[in-house]
Homo-oligomer: A and B are copies of this chain.
């Protein structure tokens, strides 16, 4: 069996943890399995490197930032290989150049395109544990690129896909995917099985256990994912295409505080205005989430939408600069908002889900500012201060803690 195992930065933060990971991986190796390990940079290494860069140049180019940051994972994999060696197991560390981890051109947030698996296969055939740098790739210019925060998950899934691995295990500091964040909803329960689509909604919506691009890729190539704890032996959460029938209607509740509501007021009520507005944002790589358009009145209408907080300033500036072209009278923004979502593949055939969610929020006095629905989720925008209360209420209403 070929198993890809991914460990995050906190799992390799010091000598003791590195040895814990090494020992755990060696167990599978000694059972006769082929083992590939994908590692992130140790502990706060990446943050430290970013701070160093900012000291030198607050506007450092992304190309040079990637050149700097990729050293973090290289340190992790070299040290892990040394630990394996000390434990008497042959291992070898490989970086993005050595596995030809090809990505798109873009620095800072690149996408994997292709992996040359020859070297890895060769080392596995020699019965070595192969330890690969997560998060990093190289582009067509042979420059380092990085896959964005959490990109090591994507590296692991990509390797699993390219090598047709039998399992891809993502180790975290929690026991798996929960029906809600246990720090906010104390009676949240671990989910044993979840579909790729549901996981994708939860990942995108801030559940933070898996990088959403990794889930997209796992779905595309049918890579069986397991999210489990690096601290204990609990079975974790299996992410796959189909799950058992007896499962619940709703798989989980997620919150995302990284949201800003932007309202564009007084747009002309005529065709093409919405297109011009959102085309402007798309061209500038700004992802827009919930969109709400008011009914036209007196020849004008308002459009509200949410963007990530990091993009808020650029969004406002862009709209201000193009006010005339998109016929806006003014633009407003609200930052103290958050999204709360229920996710579940079962809801497509059950129109009562949205109603039950709204009722539970009404019962605890939470006002809903915007609503968005898809086939497997219902999202509401509420005041940030109400997030915890709202999550608990929705979680209880669907009986997720039982």
A residues in contact (CB < 8 Å) with B: 15, 18, 49, 52-53, 55-57, 59-61, 63-65, 67-68, 70-71, 74-75, 77-79, 81-83, 85-86, 92-93, 95, 97-98, 119, 142-143
Contacts and interface: CB of A to CB of B under 8 A. Distances in A.
Given A52-B79, A67-B78, A71-B71, 19 more contacts: A15-B55, A15-B56, A18-B56, A52-B75, A53-B79, A56-B83, A57-B85, A60-B82, A60-B86, A61-B85, A64-B81, A64-B93, A67-B77, A67-B81, A67-B93, A68-B74, A68-B75, A71-B75, A98-B142
A74 B67 CA distance: 7
Given A53-B82, A71-B74, A86-B56, A119 B142 contact: yes
Given A52-B79, A79-B52, A70 B74 contact: yes
Contacts of A49: 75
30 contacts: A15-B55, A15-B56, A18-B56, A52-B75, A53-B78, A53-B82, A56-B79, A56-B83, A57-B82, A57-B83, A57-B85, A57-B86, A59-B85, A60-B82, A60-B86, A61-B81, A61-B85, A64-B78, A64-B81, A64-B85, A65-B82, A67-B93, A67-B95, A68-B74, A68-B75, A70-B74, A71-B71, A71-B75, A74-B74, A97-B97
Contacts of A71: 71, 74-75
Contacts of A59: 85-86
A82 B64 contact: yes
A53 B143 CA distance: 27
Nearest to A55: B15
A98 B95 CA distance: 13
A71 B49 CA distance: 12
A49 B79 CA distance: 10
Contacts of A74: 67-68, 70-71, 74
A225 B71 CA distance: 31
A134 to B, nearest CB: 15
